[in-house]
Amino acid sequence: MSVNATRDGLLNLIREGKPMSLRQQLRLTAVLSMPAIVAQLSTIIMQYIDASMVGSLGANASASIGLMATSTWLFSGLCSGAAMGFSVQVANRIGANDKQGAQAVLKQSIMPTLAFGICLAIIGIALSGYLPGWLGAEREIAGPASTYFLIFVASLPMLQLNYLAGAMLRCSGNTLFPGLVNVGMCLLDVVFNAFLIFPTRSVTLFGAAFTMPGAGMGVSGAALGTALAELVAGVVMFIYLCLWNRELNLRHCAAKLRTSISNLKRAIRIALPLCGEHFLLCGAQILITAIVAPLGAVAIAANAFAVTAESLCYMPGYGIAEAATTLVGQSLGAARKKLARSFANITVVSGILVMTLMGVFMYLGAPFMMEIISPVQEIVDAGVRVLRIEAFAEPMFAASIVAYGVFIGAGDTLIPSGMNLGSIWVVRLSLAAWLAPKLGLTGVWIAMAVELCFRGFIFLWRLKTDYWLHANKKMFSNEKK
């Protein structure tokens, strides 16, 4: 039996109210998680590619990208939050066997999310000339950083549709196609970057020398290469979603393009806490960047590259969290709370186990991970020190990541968002501000590790309660109407 047939057969057990054994639940979790993990890892590999290619240009070029990393996360996270407002509704409706309702939600999500992406792009373009200076960048770093950010925010409308298509496919139970597309996007990024970052040069491959044309755009070329790769991936994924996906294709959807008030209200109720939380969360990370900036270009680059290196270890957790959102959302849409709790426990435990292993890998492989990204030994040494501190926080970080995915699937976003914000603003920022003058970059990462452990414990506490199961009764009670 093919992977798709296995996935669809197991998902139908949820929708049809049939019993599921523990083995079937574990198998469905694995089938949904693996492609999602591959998709997340491909995104991180793309960041590795950008970082390593730009890293070869020197510390200042590396610092230019590193300085803007938290700001780009802020804007991309807002796009993701907007997409989740509608995609969670799709998971609930599919779980309730309301395919027409799910298709209507998809169709009605296109215009508001696209408008949101355009608004974010306009805001980002207006801020691009000032943001590096606000973050304390020196003149030789600020110019390239500003251009990098400008190109990124200009591509946000397409990135928004990319996120919407990926979230819709995953919540319908199809995690395989987005994973494949993201792998293709990663390969395209390599190709585009090779032509855009470096000037025309002589290259030797398998003993044969030839001239490689190049635009020589440096930092700007890295941003443009990524934007073009995301553009191609977004177009492919959106066409597949609307025309060929079995659950959500719009070829025969009679629903109007104009968004209904009820669907829009539900989307806002789910997305607003996510976007608000992400805005304040990244605001805190930007403040962390401002704390690091006075430590110099080496510290800025080491901090950003270490975050990229660590991402390789925690992105599997986000892949499992995406599967948790789908499984919990469809289970609650089918009015199967006991099954939703079972999937919650399975996915959280799976995430902790996987990220514990990844933490061991990060501790042992930190030198290799940093050397791939940067040839500057000072940056490598600083990155290795902080990565080995962070390795001990990976299990509890996994608990918070996957539990949050569970809560999103249940439509429970307000309280968990507040928990995230309280943890990072009260614990991480205060500790970082206190430790950075004493211990430098090491102090900042000690603060991060302590905060991630605290966050994991409070998320496990909420998961143990029943509050999240009853957080959005109104949304589920209306699913079959």
Helix ranges restricted to H, 96-218 = 99-127, 131-134, 139-154, 156-171, 176-196
Torsion sign over Cα 111, 116, 117, 123: positive
73 has a pLDDT exceeding 50: yes
pLDDT band with cut points at 50, 70 and 90 for residue 266:
confident
Share of the chain above pLDDT 70, in %: 93
Contact 368, 424 (CB under 8 A): no
421-440 b/e (C-beta count within 10 Å ≥ 16 → b) = bebbbebbbebbeebbeeeb
SS3 106: helix
* Lowest pLDDT segment from 204-213, 297-306, 423-432: 204-213
13 has a pLDDT exceeding 60: yes
Cβ neighbours around 377 below 10 Å, total: 10
138 has a pLDDT exceeding 70: yes
116 has a pLDDT exceeding 80: yes
pLDDT tens digits, one per residue of 160-172: 988 899 889 888 8
Cβ neighbours around 282 below 10 Å, total: 22
pLDDT band with cut points at 50, 70 and 90 for residue 3:
low
pLDDT at residue 477, rounded to an integer: 45
pLDDT band with cut points at 50, 70 and 90 for residue 480:
very low
Torsion (CA) 262, 266, 272, 278 in degrees, nearest 10: -140
Q: Of 89, 77, 90, give the one whose Cα is nearest residue 116.
A: 77
pLDDT at residue 355, rounded to an integer: 93
For helices 337-373 and 394-409, give the axis angle rounded to 10 degrees: 140
pLDDT tens digits, one per residue of 185-196: 888 888 888 888
- Kindly list the domain boundaries of the chain, sorted by start residue: 3-14+24-477
pLDDT at residue 5, rounded to an integer: 72
Q: 257 CB contacts (<8 Å, ≥6 apart)?
A: 107, 108, 110, 111
* Lowest pLDDT segment from 103-112, 438-447, 472-481: 472-481
SS3 211: strand
259 has a pLDDT exceeding 70: yes
Q: Of 369, 380, 247, 227, give the one whose Cα is nearest residue 308.
A: 369
Mean pLDDT of 197-207: 77
Mean pLDDT of 291-308: 80
133 has a pLDDT exceeding 90: no
Residues in the chain: 481
What is d(CA 213, CA 198) in angstroms, rounded to the nearest whole number? 9
pLDDT band with cut points at 50, 70 and 90 for residue 46:
low
DSSP string of 338-368, one letter each residue: HHHHHHHHHHHHHHHHHHHHHHHHHHHHHHH
pLDDT at residue 385, rounded to an integer: 93
Structure tokens at 137: 């960048």
pLDDT at residue 473, rounded to an integer: 57
Mean pLDDT of 92-108: 85
What is d(CA 5, CA 25) in angstroms, rounded to the nearest whole number? 15
Structure tokens at 138: 């020196």
Residue located via tokens 């608004």:
119
479 has a pLDDT exceeding 50: no
What is d(CA 27, CA 21) in angstroms, rounded to the nearest whole number? 10
Mean pLDDT of 323-332: 88
pLDDT at residue 476, rounded to an integer: 46
424 has a pLDDT exceeding 90: no
Q: 256 CB contacts (<8 Å, ≥6 apart)?
A: 107, 108
pLDDT at residue 392, rounded to an integer: 94
- The letter for the amino acid at 164 is L
197 has a pLDDT exceeding 70: yes
Mean pLDDT of 244-252: 79
Residue located via tokens 């959807």:
253
Q: How many CA atoms lie within 13 A of 183 on its CB side?
A: 9
Contact 279, 8 (CB under 8 A): no
Structure tokens at 277: 């939380």
226 has a pLDDT exceeding 60: yes
For the chain, give the mean pLDDT.
Answer: 84
Residue located via tokens 């198998």:
27
119 has a pLDDT exceeding 90: yes
Mean pLDDT of 262-278: 82
pLDDT band with cut points at 50, 70 and 90 for residue 182:
confident
pLDDT band with cut points at 50, 70 and 90 for residue 36:
confident
pLDDT tens digits, one per residue of 332-375: 888 888 999 999 999 999 999 999 999 999 999 999 888 877 77
Structure tokens at 374: 């940067």
Q: 308 CB contacts (<8 Å, ≥6 apart)?
A: 44, 47, 48, 51, 69, 373
pLDDT at residue 10, rounded to an integer: 80
pLDDT at residue 481, rounded to an integer: 34
What is d(CA 105, CA 83) in angstroms, rounded to the nearest whole number? 11
Contact 118, 143 (CB under 8 A): no
pLDDT at residue 145, rounded to an integer: 86
Helix or strand holding residue 21 (H, E): none
What is d(CA 42, CA 413) in angstroms, rounded to the nearest whole number? 27
Burial of 19 (0-12, 13-18, 19+ CB in 10 A): exposed
